[in-house]
Amino acid sequence: MRLKRATGFLAAAMLVVAAPAAAAQGNGRLAYEAGGSIYAISPDGGSPSLLHNGILPAFSPDGTRIVFAQTPSEPSGPLTVWVAGADGTNAQQIGTSPGPRKFSWSPDGTRIAFVSDDGSGFSIVVLKADGSGSTTVSYDASAAGPPSWSPDGTELAFTTTNDADIAVAKADGSGRRLLIQDSPRDVAPSWSPDGSQIAFLREANGAFRLYSIQADGIHLHQLGQTTVFVPAPPAWSPDGSRLLFGGSETVGYTRYGPYYRSDVYTVAADGAGERRLTDSSSPYAGFAPSWSPDGRRIAFVSSRERTVPVANLQLYVMNADGTCETKLTSSSSVSTPSWQALPTVPAADPLRCAALSITGSVDVERDHPALDDSRVYIYHGVVANNGNVSSDPLHVVTTDESPLSYVSASASNGACTIGARASCTLPGLPPGGTAEIELRFNVFVSGTFEIEPEVEAMGQTPDGDTSDNADDVYRQFPFCEISTQLGSTLRAGDDDDLICGTLGRDTIFAGGGRDRVYGGMAHDVIQGGAGTDEIDGGGNTDLIYGDGGADKLYGDVGDDFLIGGVGNDILWGGGGGDNLRGGPGADRFLAGYGNDLIDSRDGLTEHVYCGDGNDRVEADFRDIVHACEKVIRRPQTAAPR
């Protein structure tokens, strides 16, 4: 209902609480990389198990083996490629590569294809899984996604560096052809399960979108309208009816440009029925989605809990329709998840969960004159459990910062309090159960405002003391404990702080303690201080200094300058042309997207991983450099101050 003085909108919030599940059925475990080691975890939850030291894990099609890479023991040596049993035992080296990317098994499990950096460019290499030999399929490949096998295992589709075309060749390198003649920039091909189509990404006006074409190069179709966030291959469902991808959407604008969020999307193979499966306000909430072998579940990695993006990606799983989203990991940042297939086991039941939602509307109390500022507006809300198990006790709280004065709050079965916000505590709801809340409030300022109740499980405790909160909390990031005023300077103490900047040009000194800092959307200056910190510069051009401690620095969008300081740091440039300097300590550099400059010279052995773009690396002779376009070896220099 639209009012002349004030309007109440509902921003419906959904929180999915996973219930204990029965023993795993249908699908095997999920393997993933975290902190240089490979772990496996049940998609129903539980504790992960260590499989092996290594990176880039990928289960074989029959689920009995796993391939991975290991970093070299000598700084100048290549990475080694290994195949082990699905439990990580009986590992055997099958080859080497200076810089392998994600591995792709042939359908029959006899060969493994991947993009390799040989120092002069990228090539497509096929290793025999028993270690008996290798074949180079192409010397002009691109790192934009792994090669994709045809279902019969005779051909590979891959991206070339010649005008970013998609080529198809036989597994021995013969019979090469371009999929589309005179195409724009096409990358990241993915073959359909029946072999009839190849899905891929096409760039136009700086954005990638999803397309498909018949395997013979005719009948091109655009699939949906959503922009793809990261140019990674789309994932076909096992039955070939739908595709998964990580899409992005503009959700608002600042004076510095648009603000994006990313989510997991699905679309039918004919382009119909495009749908967002996850619902977040984070720009890093939907990476690397993949189908379970039985097609009933989806795994993806996300920083949706709004800690430092990308530096803290975790593994999630949900039902194929997007319900029952469940977090599986809570440790080091996760990457390259891989499902294990167990074809002899019955298909898994869907995940069971309590799916909580709230809907509502605003009316005006009729016994007040229309022009009387003391008239009372009434919000009627209904909380519902749309899941298939009972929920824990609930907490409902308004999150608006608009000039509302609450008069009263009540619930059909629970207790409520009012203050700067209205808050209600309700008992758990059974499947299909509902509860009603009513909020009464005055509005004394003309304009259009929002009422935004959110519902969550009581496992997340609300802030019991709001008196120490800052006045100007940036609404896109309500997870912040401390927020700066617009474009101001903030000096935090030595506690473990969670700090957010604003749309203005902020200067943030995190102080001691284990801090997490998000700079906001402007040109920020951030210093971590002593302690192990996680810092995300946010949008625009930022200067980030980790200072003491083993810090994680993420430049995010913009041309950023990252200095690790003392300690074993991780520096991730993000988008833009970034300048990364490690400082004293055994650091790890991840260039991200854009043309980056990396200086890793401090006399210690450090790892440098270049991303998409023409990166330049200045390294000393002990550093290990992976997939970088230009490397200059120079002696150790003094650490930056």
pLDDT at 425 over 60: yes
Give the CA distances from residue 458 to residues 388, 462, 508, in Å, rounded to whole numbers and listed in that order.
Answer: 18, 8, 32
The stretch 608-627 carries a mean pLDDT of 77
The C-alpha atoms of residue 481 and residue 511 are separated, in whole angstroms, by: 15
Q: What is the pLDDT of residues 88-120, one digit of tens each?
A: 999 999 999 888 888 999 999 999 999 988 767
- Residue 620: predicted pLDDT: 78
Pairing status of strand 49-53 against strand 489-491: unpaired
- Residue 141: predicted pLDDT: 82
241 CB burial (10 A radius; 0-12, 13-18, 19+): middle
What are residue 170's DSSP bridge partners? 155
- Residue 65: predicted pLDDT: 96
pLDDT at 528 over 80: no
- Residue 452: predicted pLDDT: 64
Q: Is 436 left (phi over 0), alpha (psi -120 to 50) or beta?
A: beta
Q: How confident is the model at residue 463 (pLDDT cuts 50, 70, 90)?
A: very low
- Residue 476: predicted pLDDT: 30
pLDDT at 597 over 60: yes
Within 320-452, strands assigned E span 326-327, 334-341, 353-364, 377-385, 394-398, 404-411, 415-418, 422-426, 434-443
The stretch 493-509 carries a mean pLDDT of 60
The C-alpha atoms of residue 439 and residue 473 are separated, in whole angstroms, by: 23
Q: Which CATH number fits domain 355-457: 1.10.580.10, 3.90.1200.10, 3.40.710.10, 2.60.40.290?
A: 2.60.40.290
pLDDT at 368 over 50: no
Instruction: Fill in the amino acid letter for 182.
Output: D
- Residue 640: predicted pLDDT: 36
CB count within 10 Å of CB 98 equals: 17
- For the chain, what percent of residues have pLDDT higher than 90? 30
The C-alpha atoms of residue 591 and residue 205 are separated, in whole angstroms, by: 23
Residues constituting the chain: 641
- Residue 466: predicted pLDDT: 35
Q: How confident is the model at residue 484 (pLDDT cuts 50, 70, 90)?
A: very low
- Residue 337: predicted pLDDT: 92
Torsion angle of the four alpha carbons 507, 512, 515, 517, in this order, in degrees rounded to the nearest 10: 10
Torsion angle of the four alpha carbons 170, 174, 175, 178, in this order, in degrees rounded to the nearest 10: 80
Structure tokens at 129: 């899984």
- Residue 607: predicted pLDDT: 77
- Of 262, 284, 292, the C-alpha closest to 334 is 284
Average pLDDT score over the chain:
76
Structure tokens at 292: 């379970």
pLDDT at 60 over 90: yes
User: Which value, in Å, is the radius of gyration of the alpha carbons in the chain?
Assistant: 26
Least confident of 376-380, 455-459, 527-531: 455-459
Side-chain-facing half-sphere of 265: CA atoms under 13 Å: 27
The C-alpha atoms of residue 559 and residue 135 are separated, in whole angstroms, by: 39
- Residue 16: predicted pLDDT: 32
Instruction: Fill in the amino acid letter for 120.
Output: S
- Residue 136: predicted pLDDT: 92
The stretch 419-448 carries a mean pLDDT of 81
The C-alpha atoms of residue 389 and residue 106 are separated, in whole angstroms, by: 40
- Chain centroid offset of residue 507 CA: 27
Q: What is the pLDDT of residues 277-287, one digit of tens each?
A: 987 756 667 77
- Residue 548: predicted pLDDT: 67
- Residue 472: predicted pLDDT: 27
> Structural domain boundaries of the chain?
20-249+256-351, 355-457, 482-633
pLDDT at 498 over 50: yes
pLDDT at 266 over 60: yes
- Residue 439: predicted pLDDT: 87
Give the CA distances from residue 486 to residues 469, 470, 527, 558, in Å, rounded to whole numbers and listed in that order.
Answer: 15, 11, 18, 20
The stretch 45-59 carries a mean pLDDT of 93
Query: Is-above-0.85 flag for pTM?
Result: no
pLDDT at 260 over 90: no
Q: How confident is the model at residue 306 (pLDDT cuts 50, 70, 90)?
A: very low
Tell me yes or no: is domain 20-249+256-351 CATH 3.20.20.60.
no
Give alpha helix (H) positions in 375-499.
Answer: none
Pairing status of strand 482-483 against strand 498-502: parallel
- Residue 238: predicted pLDDT: 94
- Residue 402: predicted pLDDT: 57
- For the chain, what percent of residues have pLDDT higher than 70? 65
- Residue 639: predicted pLDDT: 38
The C-alpha atoms of residue 513 and residue 188 are separated, in whole angstroms, by: 42
The C-alpha atoms of residue 496 and residue 509 are separated, in whole angstroms, by: 13
Instruction: Fill in the amino acid letter for 181.
Output: Q
Each residue of 1-28: b (16+ CB within 10 Å) or e? eebebbbbebeebbbbbbbebeebebbb
Structure tokens at 337: 């998840």
- Chain centroid offset of residue 475 CA: 20
The C-alpha atoms of residue 635 and residue 374 are separated, in whole angstroms, by: 74
The C-alpha atoms of residue 352 and residue 443 are separated, in whole angstroms, by: 42
Least confident of 85-94, 157-166, 585-594: 585-594
* 508/256: higher pLDDT: 508
Contact present, 202 and 246 (Cβ < 8 Å): no
Structure tokens at 440: 């009464």
